[in-house]
Amino acid sequence: MDKLSVDGGFKLDGQIRISGAKNSALPILAGSLLTADPVIISNAPHLHDVTTMIELLACLGVGVTLDERMNVEISAYHLNDLRAPYSLVKTMRASFLVLGPMLARYGWLRHWFSSGRSTFKRPSRSGRRDRGCGRLRARPRVKWFDR
């Protein structure tokens, strides 16, 4: 077991701000697509994947307001596009999290794969994705496009 040992006899004193966890924030942000009511998420972590997910939601037409303390207000009352842009999806594997909420609310969407065609650095989740889509009575059609 790893441990941290502090020697020296000086008392530690002060305050730090702890932000939320990325792996919790991303599904919550994607889940906000399920409702037309405003959703407020407090203390989101200021990380690249979180800001990319916020950009992805904005590209879909979601109203997003972000303040300096990383409190996010989301309004998915009306979406103007059900196509996730490749330029954002390719940078974040977690973009697949919007699949379920979009299918549940709208019945369809167009989404790119974020892992690439030939080499997967991590195990593929396509089987899990396909089973989940099947439970929502959706049939994923996979097409590879040259970029």
The pLDDT of 3-14, averaged and rounded, is: 80
What is the reported pLDDT for 130? 64
The pLDDT of 13-36, averaged and rounded, is: 87
The pLDDT of 14-24, averaged and rounded, is: 82
For residue 17, the 8-state DSSP code is: P
Q: Tell me: pLDDT of 127 over 90.
A: no
For residue 110, the cross-strand partners are 83
Helix (H, G, I), strand (E, B) or coil at 6: coil
Q: What is the pTM of this model?
A: 0.71
Residue that the structure tokens 């004193």 belong to: 13
Q: Is 145 left (phi over 0), alpha (psi -120 to 50) or beta?
A: beta
The CATH architecture one would assign to domain 22-135 is Alpha-beta prism (3.65)
What residue spans define the domains of the chain?
Answer: 22-135
Helix or strand (DSSP H, E) at 26: helix 22-31
CA atoms within 13 A on the CB side of 132: 14
What is the reported pLDDT for 93? 74
